[in-house]
Amino acid sequence: MLPIMSVSEFISQINEIIGGEFIIEGEISQYKVSQGKWIFFDLKDDKAVVNCFATVFSLKQPLEDGMKVRVLGYPKVHDKSGRFSVTVQKVELVGEGSLKKAYLLLKKKLEEEGLFAVDRKRALPDLPAKIGVIASRDSAAFGDFVRILNNRWSGVEINLYHVAVQGEQSVGEIIEAFKFFNTNDTGCEVIVLIRGGGSLEDLAAFNNEEVVRAVYSSKIPVVCGVGHERDESLCDFASDVRASTPSNAAEIVMPDKQEFKINLDYDVEHIFDSIRNKILRQRRSVEQYFYTISSVLEAPLQKCRSLMENFRHSQAYLENILSRRQAFVLSAQRLFNSVDPRRVLKRGFSITRNMKGLIVRSAKQLDAGEEFVVELGEGNLFGQVIKNKKQGKLL
Amino acid sequence: MSADKKFNFSKSYQELQNIVAWFEKDDVDLEEGIKKFEEGAKLVADLKKYLDTMENKIKELKN
């Protein structure tokens, strides 16, 4: 005899019978998000279909119709609707196609959010003394990075934070590594995140949203070198500088020391040239000053010279005048000597003057009794007119 | 460069770049220029010596 049970009891019992976790592989269809909280989709294969339900919180990766997935969940008949569905706890993408789709979806989302914006990318330090590296210690990627760095540069300290770059723990460990570098004072001026090449599945951790956000949020600039030349990861886009390979990451963070040394020589040469040019310029300006000064001084000097020349001419002229005057004076002297009345007086002539000193040339000039002076060749005679014969000769 | 450990590579390199930049100016004083040239040449010698003698170190962080 079958027991009679209520609907609630029936559903509860059914749920107990079908309880437990299952992994179901199928293709997603009718994917939709309700009220930003609930996710509904159908999982199907060629012959059958099952409803799936999940919360947005539990499913982090972007999903889309047509993706092939493996769903981890438990089947359940819902009390209120009586509908049967699988409550999904975890979804794993299956096959390159699904991964590629999920990758492109996340890339689009993060791009729209601005995580890959070019204008937020920071410049790397010129010559970091310490480099933080997030990599697997035994990986070829880390080996290549160190080898190239040793070829290029000396005296740098590499701080390796070892992480798994593949598998379950890799996401958590890479996030933890970024947290470590950003919260501990390691002195690292740049972080290098590297991994060798692989399939999209191998590189899953580097396309994980949380890891990409850790790269984006790092306070220390990040160089990301994942895979081979043609590989790309979302971490590449979120990093400050994308390196094509781990070796390329080494080339990006450190210059080549041979080239660097050549540039040092160039610096010295440049400084030396500057000084030499400076000296040449100063010499040229001294010459210029000298020329300017001498051309300024030349004018008054020229004037001086011509003044001196004039002076010399004047002197000669004056000398000439002077000698002519001297000759004139001498000849005049001679002339005067020849007409000197005293010489006439010496020959016996005399000069008579009245008492006023006037020369008496006629007897009429003196009256009887008037005194007069006779000037002789030697001495003078004073006399008085006794008789005046106003005409005629004395003798 | 007395002791390698005390030599700060990037600081010295920055000093050298400052000297180079100083020479880019037009009104360079000759006497000071010669002094700076000597400083620059010494920095270059030190930087080269550092690069020729030092090795890279790898330290694994404990977490």
Quick: pLDDT tens for A217-256.
999 999 999 988 777 899 999 999 999 999 999 999 999 9
**Residue scoring higher pLDDT (A394 or A247):** A247
Task: Provide mean pLDDT across the span A22-49.
Answer: 92
- Residue A113: per-residue pLDDT: 95
Architecture per CATH, A7-93: Beta Barrel (2.40)
Domain range for B46: 7-51
- Residue A111: per-residue pLDDT: 95
- Residue A392: per-residue pLDDT: 60
CA atoms within 13 A on the CB side of A50: 19
> Domain for residue B15, yes or no?
yes
- Residue B3: per-residue pLDDT: 45
Spatial contact of A220 and A185, defined as CB atoms under 8 Å apart: no
- How many independent structural domains does chain B possess? 1
- Residue A142: per-residue pLDDT: 95
> Domain for residue B60, yes or no?
no
pLDDT in tens, B8-61: 888 899 999 999 888 888 777 778 888 888 899 999 999 999 988 888 899 998
ipTM of the predicted assembly exceeds 0.90: no
Contacts of residue A278 in chain B, CB cutoff 8 Å?
28, 30, 33
> Domain for residue B57, yes or no?
no
Give the contacts of A248 (CB within 8 A, at least 6 positions apart). A225
Pick the CATH number of A118-255 from 3.40.50.2020, 1.10.357.10, 3.40.50.261, 3.20.20.80: 3.40.50.261
Spatial contact of B46 and B7, defined as CB atoms under 8 Å apart: yes
> Domain for residue B16, yes or no?
yes
Return d(Cα A36, Cα A38) in angstroms, integer: 6
Q: In degrees to the nearest 10, what's the CA dihedral of A169, A171, A177, A182?
A: -150
Least confident of A182-191, A291-300, B52-61: A291-300
Residue with tokens 């008054």, as numbered in its chain: A300
> Domain for residue B46, yes or no?
yes
- Residue A198: per-residue pLDDT: 83
Question: Which tokens belong to B49?
Answer: 């010596």
Residues in A whose CB is inside 8 Å of some CB of B read 125-129, 137, 146, 149-150, 153-162, 176-177, 180, 186, 257, 260-261, 264-265, 267-268, 270-272, 274-275, 278-279, 282
Return d(Cα A9, Cα A168) in angstroms, integer: 40
Contacts of residue A177 in chain B, CB cutoff 8 Å?
63
User: Using alpha carbons only, what angle is made at residue A199 by residues A196 and A204, rounded to the nearest 5 degrees?
Assistant: 85
- Interface contact A156-B10, CB threshold 8 A: no
Least confident of A131-135, A207-211, A252-256, B26-30: B26-30
Q: In degrees to the nearest 10, what's the CA dihedral of A211, A213, A217, A221?
A: 60
> Domain for residue B58, yes or no?
no
Question: Helix crossing, A170-183 with A209-217: angle to 10°?
Answer: 10
